[in-house]
Chains A and B, each alone.
Chain A
C-alpha cells in the first residue's frame, strides 16, 4: 500500500547514498580517483567559484567538496558553507588594501593606457571557442612539459610587485569623490553573525553579494544592463591576483601577514550625479569583489552595488535597484535548498488543499 512507502525511509536513504557513491566511481577498474590538488589546479575556476559561494577560503576543503558533490557547484559550495557553521570566528582581519595585491591580470576599459599598464593575463576573452581536439588524448608528458617550460622564458624580476589603482587617477582629477578614510575605520557588517534587517548597510549588501551565486548575480545584473535599470557601467579597473591577509599578532597585536587569498576585484564607474549640496557633479562608483578568479561575478556585483545605491537614494524603480529583491535572492545555498525542498513529502498540506477545493467545488 502507498502508506508503506513513507515507512522504511532510513533504508531508502542508505540505498540512495550507496548508488550515489557507485556513480562517483562508475568509471571502473582503470580509473584513478580525483585528487584534491588536481581539482584545485585543473578545475581552478570551478574551485574558485566554490570558495567564493561557500564563503570560506579553504582551498583544500573546497576541492574535497567538489569531489564529494561530483562537480555540482551549488552542492559543493553548500558543503563548504555547512562546514563553516562549525567553526567560531576567532579574529577580524585588518582592513586589507587591494593596492597591495600581487596581480595576475588587470585591465581597464576606461583608458587606453593606465599607470602600470594593462596586463591581459589569463583570460578566455579573446580566445576562439573552438574544440581543441588534441586535449582529448593529451599525454602526461605533453601536459607536464607546458608547465615545466613556462617560467624558463619569463623574466620574473621585471614584473612589479604591486600596481596603482586606476581610480586614484580619477580621484586626483576630481572626477570621483575623494576616498572616505573614516569609512575604512568602520567595523564591517558580518552576515554570518547578524541577520539582514532592512534597510541594510552597504557593507552588508556587499558581503551578501560576495558569496552570492554567480548565475543569480549575473541574471539580475543583466536585467539592469538590458534596460530594467540604467547603470551603464564602465570598467575602471578589473584586477585578479593574490591579496595578502593581515591578522593581529596574538601577543604583540601588530598586524602580520598570515597568507594570501586569490581575489577578483572590479570597480565600475557610472553616470555622474549632482552631490545635492551644491558641489560639482561626480562620477559614481560600483564595487565588486569575490574569492577566486571570477570576473563575471565581480562585474555583476559591481553593477548591482551601483544599482542598489541608486535604488536606496531614489527609491527602487526596478528589481536590480531593490535591496530586498537582490539580496534575498542571490544566495545559491538558500535558493537551491528551497527549490530542492519541494521534493519532500507534502501529503498533509496537499490534503488540506484538497479539502478546500472540494468544499469550494461543492458550493459552486
Chain B
C-alpha cells in the first residue's frame, strides 16, 4: 500500500522539474542537464531515471510499453510496468511497439522503426562517455563545453594499436548534432544507428547520476570513429562467415541473443526484441496461409 496516491507517484513539483529539464535537454541536443532526481521505490540502477521521465510525461489515455533486454516479460520490465500501472490510472500498456505512445527501455531500441508521434525513454546507468578517461565530473563538464573529446579518440586509437579493433562493445560514444558526445546508454552498437535522424524523440534519464539528455527528432547522431576504421555493429556471423538468423522466426537482420539450449546443449540464437520476433513469425504464418 502506497501512502501517496497522486497520479504518477511523484509530487507535482518533481514532475514539473523533470518536464522543464526535458525541454532544456531537447533544446541543447546531447547536453546532460542536471536535475534533482527523486528516490523511487525501486533501486537506483533499476531504471529510476527512465521511470521518472515516464511518470512525468505520460498521461491518462496514453499507451505505454516497457522493455528490458528487448523483452516485455523480463523481471525488471514487469516490475516497472506494474508500478506505472498502479500509480498512473488510465494509462494503457502494450507489448506491440507500433501501438505504444511511450516506450521505456533498458539496453535496447526496438527493431521496428519508431514514428514521429512516439517517444522513447532510455534508462541510463552512466550518462557521461568521458568517465572512462576522466573521473572528475567538474573537469568533464569543461571538456564537454569545449567539445574536447580528444582523450576519447586517443582511447579508440589505443584500442586499434593494441587489438586492431575498437573494443567498446556497448555504450558507444556518439556525437549528437556535431557537438556533445553522449553515452547512448548500454544499448548494443547495433542500436546506435537508430538514433541518427530518428523520427521519434529519444530522452535519456540517469536517476542515480541525476542527469537528463536527449536526442531530438531528425538530429544527427554519429558514433565516434576514424575514416579508415569505421564504426561497426555486432556481426553475428557463423563459422562460414554467414549472417546468423533467429532460430525462432528466421529473421537475419535483428540483434540476436545467444544461449545454450539446456536440452540439446547446442548454441542457439534468437531475436533479442521479443515483439519483433513475434511480428516476423506472424508475418510468415500469414504468408504461409496465402501461399500455402
Which residues of A are in contact with B by a Cβ distance under 8 Å?
1-3, 6-10, 12-13, 78-79, 81-89, 191-199, 324, 328, 333-334, 336-342, 344-349, 351-356, 359-360, 363-364
Interchain CB contact under 8 A, A9 and B169: no
Interchain CB contact under 8 A, A351 and B272: yes
Complex CA gap A266/B78 in Å reads 46
Q: Which of B56-64, B69-77, B114-122, B147-155 lies at the interface with chain A? A: B69-77
Complex CA gap A344/B42 in Å reads 13
Q: Which residues of A contact B14 (CB under 8 A)?
A: 85
State which of B46, B169, B187 has its C-beta within 8 Å of the C-beta of A356. B169
Q: Which residues between 66 and 106 of chain B lie within 8 Å of chain A, taking CB atoms? A: 68-71, 73-79, 82
Interchain CB contact under 8 A, B125 and A338: yes
Q: Which residues of B contact A197 (CB under 8 A)?
A: 34, 141
A-B contact count (CB 8 A): 188
Interchain CB contact under 8 A, A328 and B39: no
Minimum CB–CB distance from B260 to chain A (whole Å) comes to 7
Complex CA gap A3/B3 in Å reads 38
Q: Which residues of B contact A10 (CB under 8 A)?
A: 73, 78, 82
Minimum CB–CB distance from B35 to chain A (whole Å) comes to 6
Top-3 shortest CB links A-B: A337-B44, A341-B45, A86-B4
Q: Which of B160-168, B194-202, B219-227, B279-287 lies at the interface with chain A? A: B160-168
State which of A87, A340, A351 has its C-beta within 8 Å of the C-beta of B258. A351
Interchain CB contact under 8 A, A348 and B11: no
Besides the known contacts A341-B125, A348-B69, 11 further A-B residue pairs in the complex with CB atoms under 8 A apart:
A9-B77, A13-B79, A85-B38, A195-B35, A336-B43, A345-B68, A349-B186, A351-B257, A355-B234, A356-B167, A363-B163
Interchain CB contact under 8 A, B208 and A324: no
Minimum CB–CB distance from A11 to chain B (whole Å) comes to 9
Minimum CB–CB distance from A211 to chain B (whole Å) comes to 11
State which of A12, A349, A363 has its C-beta within 8 Å of the C-beta of B164. A363
Interchain CB contact under 8 A, A2 and B189: no
Q: Which residues of A contact B235 (CB under 8 A)?
A: 355, 359
Task: Please tell me if B259 contacts chain A, counting CB pairs below 8 Å.
Answer: yes
Task: Please tell me if B291 contacts chain A, counting CB pairs below 8 Å.
Answer: no
Complex CA gap A69/B163 in Å reads 47
Interchain CB contact under 8 A, A2 and B45: no
Task: Please tell me if B278 contacts chain A, counting CB pairs below 8 Å.
Answer: no
Q: Which residues of A contact B250 (CB under 8 A)?
A: none
Minimum CB–CB distance from B50 to chain A (whole Å) comes to 13
Task: Please tell me if B214 contacts chain A, counting CB pairs below 8 Å.
Answer: no
Task: Please tell me if B193 contacts chain A, counting CB pairs below 8 Å.
Answer: no
For chain B, the count of residues having a C-beta within 8 Å of the partner chain is 75
Task: Please tell me if B276 contacts chain A, counting CB pairs below 8 Å.
Answer: no
User: With A7-B73, A86-B11 known to touch, is A334 a contact of B44 (CB < 8 Å)?
Assistant: yes
Complex CA gap A210/B214 in Å reads 33
Minimum CB–CB distance from A209 to chain B (whole Å) comes to 17
Closest to B208 in A: A334
Complex CA gap A334/B44 in Å reads 6
Minimum CB–CB distance from B281 to chain A (whole Å) comes to 14
State which of B10, B44, B125, B136 has its C-beta within 8 Å of the C-beta of A333. B44
Complex CA gap A171/B278 in Å reads 75
User: With A198-B137, A324-B138, A355-B234 known to touch, is A85 a contact of B9 (CB < 8 Å)?
Assistant: yes
Minimum CB–CB distance from B10 to chain A (whole Å) comes to 6
Task: Please tell me if B19 contacts chain A, counting CB pairs below 8 Å.
Answer: no
Interchain CB contact under 8 A, A338 and B208: yes
Interchain CB contact under 8 A, A344 and B76: yes
Complex CA gap A364/B164 in Å reads 9
Interchain CB contact under 8 A, A192 and B36: yes
Interchain CB contact under 8 A, B70 and A360: no
Q: Which residues of B contact A78 (CB under 8 A)?
A: 39, 43
Complex CA gap A3/B85 in Å reads 26
| B1-30 interface code vs A (CB 8 A; 1 in, 0 out) | 011101001111110010000000000000
Closest to A197 in B: B34
Minimum CB–CB distance from B249 to chain A (whole Å) comes to 12
Q: Which residues of B contact A334 (CB under 8 A)?
A: 44, 208
Interchain CB contact under 8 A, A337 and B45: yes
Closest to B71 in A: A6
User: With A85-B10, A338-B208, A352-B188 known to touch, is A194 a contact of B36 (CB < 8 Å)?
Assistant: yes
Q: Which residues of A contact B75 (CB under 8 A)?
A: 6, 9, 12-13, 344-345
Minimum CB–CB distance from B87 to chain A (whole Å) comes to 10
State which of A88, A337, A341 has its C-beta within 8 Å of the C-beta of B11. A88
Interchain CB contact under 8 A, B188 and A354: no
Show 22 A/B contacts (Cβ-Cβ < 8 Å), sorted by A. A6-B71, A7-B71, A7-B73, A8-B73, A9-B74, A13-B79, A79-B41, A84-B38, A85-B38, A85-B40, A86-B4, A86-B11, A87-B11, A193-B17, A195-B35, A338-B125, A340-B43, A340-B46, A352-B169, A352-B188, A353-B169, A355-B169
Q: Which residues of A contact B234 (CB under 8 A)?
A: 351-352, 355
Interchain CB contact under 8 A, B39 and A349: no
Q: Which residues of B contact A87 (CB under 8 A)?
A: 4, 11
